[in-house]
């Protein structure tokens, strides 16, 4: 299997679906918003975008199964599975905030081997395949070389439906505020990861995530020279519901900062 060709085909598909999302955004009516749960929003745009992705991905790699956010197809493959988030940053999209992406990763067993995160608003297509490096619009990218947390800009996400750990998380945020150049919250985990890969952020951490939030971007960080883990060293950051991504040099400081207030409840 040619991972480079798969990556190229995936990039074309992601751009096509991103163009569809942008077009729909021009006339989007909030009355079409549905709620899957508390603050868990979805619209026909998410669903149709996912249908377009699944249709295209079947052509790219017919033997692969799917793990999809909107449940268009969740038939697992024996070896390969596409992990699909058709619109990462749905709430941003619905409010007209231009910070959302198309995110797709290809799992070979438990390892991501191809990933794409496409930001249609900036027309930036971040991509990677195992062993091939990381790219933005075909230009090679790498993580920041900032040497310490005090020199770093950090990204995070906030919980939107499970608020049981809010106080502990606010304490973690407070520690990062005092130790870094600051914290940003874009509202798309896939975009946060892409920005770590290209060096706009030195690090990103978030909990209560799903595999489709991180599968595309995680490989891009890795291939750009970054490091990934759960809130403690190692662990399954694709399906483990939490992730820390960094430029490598600040990773130990990020884990230590999180552990100051998270150690009592981390699993």
- Are residues 7 and 124 both part of a single domain? yes
The boundaries of the domain holding residue 40 are 3-140
The neighbouring-strand residues paired with 84 are: 68, 104
**β strands within the chain, DSSP E:** 34-37, 40-42, 65-68, 80-88, 101-108, 111-119, 124-129, 134-136, 139-140, 153-156, 182-184, 203-207, 227-229, 242-246
Is 267 within the bounds of a domain?
Answer: no
**What span, in angstroms and rounded, lies between the C-alpha atoms of 210 and 189?**
10
pLDDT band of residue 1 (cuts 50, 70, 90) is confident
- For 185-241, the pLDDT digits (tens) are 999 999 999 999 999 999 999 999 999 999 999 999 999 999 999 998 889 999 999
- Are residues 96 and 172 both part of a single domain? no
- For 65-76, the pLDDT digits (tens) are 999 998 999 899
CATH of the domain at 42: 3.30.540.10
Give the model's pLDDT for residue 85: 97
Task: Give the residue among 22, 6, 195, 18 at the shortest CA–CA distance from 115.
Answer: 6
- Are residues 79 and 178 both part of a single domain? no
Give the model's pLDDT for residue 264: 43
- Are residues 119 and 223 both part of a single domain? no
Q: In this structure, are residues 118 and 126 in contact, taking their beta carbons and an 8 Å threshold?
A: yes
Give the model's pLDDT for residue 41: 58
CATH of the domain at 198: 3.40.190.80
Domain count, the chain: 2
Is 167 within the bounds of a domain?
Answer: yes
Q: Long-range contacts made by residues 254-258, C-beta under 8 angstroms, separation at least 24?
A: 254/149, 254/154, 254/203, 254/205, 255/229, 255/231, 257/149, 257/172, 257/175, 257/176, 257/179, 258/172, 258/205, 258/231
Give the model's pLDDT for residue 267: 43
The pTM for the full model equals 0.94
User: Residues 120-140: what's their mean pLDDT?
Assistant: 98
- For 6-53, the pLDDT digits (tens) are 999 999 999 999 999 999 988 887 767 776 654 455 788 999 999 999
10 Å CB burial of residue 110 (0-12, 13-18, 19+) is exposed
- For 133-177, the pLDDT digits (tens) are 999 999 999 999 999 999 999 999 987 667 778 889 999 999 999
């Amino acid at each position: 299997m040619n991972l480079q060709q798969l990556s190229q085909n995936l990039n074309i598909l992601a751009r096509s679906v991103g163009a569809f999302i942008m077009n729909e955004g021009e006339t989007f009516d909030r009355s079409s918003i549905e709620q899957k749960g508390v603050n868990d929003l979805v619209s026909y745009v998410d669903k149709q975008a996912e249908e377009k992705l699944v249709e295209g991905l079947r052509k790219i790699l017919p033997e692969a199964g799917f793990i999809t956010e909107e449940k268009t197809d969740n038939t697992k493959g024996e070896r390969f599975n596409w992990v699909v988030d058709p619109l990462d940053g749905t709430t941003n999209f619905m409010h007209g905030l231009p910070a959302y992406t198309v995110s797709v990763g290809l799992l070979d067993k438990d390892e991501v081997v191809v990933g794409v995160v496409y930001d249609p608003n900036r027309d930036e297509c971040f991509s990677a395949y195992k062993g091939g490096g990381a790219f933005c619009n075909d230009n090679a990218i790498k993580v920041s070389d900032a040497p310490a947390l005090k020199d770093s800009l950090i990204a995070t996400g906030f919980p939107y439906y499970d608020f049981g750990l809010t106080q502990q998380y606010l304490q973690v945020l407070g520690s990062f505020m005092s130790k870094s150049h600051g914290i940003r919250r874009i509202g798309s985990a896939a975009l946060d990861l892409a920005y770590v890969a290209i060096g706009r952020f030195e690090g990103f951490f978030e909990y209560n995530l799903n595999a489709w939030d991180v599968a595309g971007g995680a490989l891009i960080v890795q291939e750009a020279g970054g490091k990934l883990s759960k809130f403690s060293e190692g662990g399954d950051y694709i399906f483990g519901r939490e992730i820390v991504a960094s430029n490598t040099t600040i990773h130990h400081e990020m884990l230590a900062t999180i552990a100051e207030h998270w150690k009592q409840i981390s699993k």
